[in-house]
Amino acid sequence: MAAKERTLIIIKPDGIQRHLAGEIISRFEKKGLKLAAAKFMKIPEELARKHYAVHEGKPFFEGVVKYLASSPVLVTVWQGDGVIDITRKMMGATFGFDAEPGTIRGDFSASRGYNLIHGSDSPESADTEIKLYFKPDEIVDYEFTDEKWLYGKND
Ligand code: UDP
Ligand code: MG
């Protein structure tokens, strides 16, 4: 059985405007993660507020809501064992200027707030966030033909 852990990844407005969507998707593909859903859309401000509801009241809240709703994004769901931790590591630290080289933010962002990508940070937030963008029947469950080579174990 394929692992069912899922995460919501958004290529944010600067990721699309800076022509980095393919680069970012490609990194996850090469890692062996499985794309389960995708939607290209402009996020309405109201939905952006819901998306960042955990940050309501913080000084950057209004700014990050406007940023997320400012231009189209690619909203995706990825599936696999440990996918939340793996994608968070691949994204890097929140701000591009101090994210490690080799991470998406570390390689492509030097900004404070514009950091190319959103990724859920826990199974609970993944569950809540996925439901904001996708109906259950829009998430596709399938097997890769090389699954055993991608997820092989020695124990
Ligand atoms: N953000 C910001 N200023 C801050 C903190 C966060 O502009 O001081 C923005 C940034 O785009 C970040 C988003 O708000 O990605 C959500 O913040 P969070 O702490 O959840 O960071 P993330 O999980 O994206 O690394
Ligand atoms: Mg976060």
Decide if pLDDT at 4 tops 90: no
Domains recognised in the chain with CATH numbers: 6-143 (3.30.70.141)
Are residues 7 and 120 in contact, defined by beta-carbon separation less than 8 angstroms? yes
**Smallest-distance ligand from the CA of 55:** 1
N-to-C CA span, the chain: 17
Read off the pLDDT of residues 10-20 as tens digits, 9 standing for 90 and up.
Answer: 999 999 999 99
Cα–Cα separations (whole angstroms), residue 134 to 36, 58, 63: 11, 27, 25
Contact criterion met (CB below 8 Å) for 48 and 73: no
51 is catalytic: no
pLDDT of residue 2: 46
Q: Return the ligand number nearest the Cα of 104.
A: 1
Q: Do 8 and 118 form a contact (C-beta atoms < 8 A)?
A: yes
> How far is 29 from 51, CA to CA, in rounded Å?
25
User: What are the tens digits of pLDDT across the range 135-153?
Assistant: 999 999 999 999 999 999 8
Q: Which of 51, 56, 60 to mutate to test the pocket of ligand 1 (most atoms within 8 A of CB)?
A: 60
**pLDDT above 90 as % of the chain:** 94
- Find out whether 45 and 66 touch, Cβ atoms under 8 Å: yes
pLDDT, average across residues 34-56: 98
Q: Mean pLDDT for the chain?
A: 96
pLDDT-derived band at 1, boundaries 50, 70, 90: very low
pLDDT band per the 50, 70, 90 thresholds, residue 48:
very high
With a 6 A CB cut-off, is 111 part of the ligand 1 pocket? no
Residue spans of alpha helices (H) in the chain: 13-17, 21-31, 45-51, 61-68, 83-91, 104-108, 123-133, 147-150
Asked whether 121 lines ligand 1 (CB < 6 A), one says yes
* Shortest-distance Cα residue to atom 13 of ligand 1: 64
Give me the pLDDT at residue 117, please.
98
The residue nearest atom 25 of ligand 1, judged by CA position, is: 94
**Ligand 1 contact, 113 CB (< 6 A):** yes
- The verdict on the CB of residue 97 being under 6 Å from ligand 1 is no
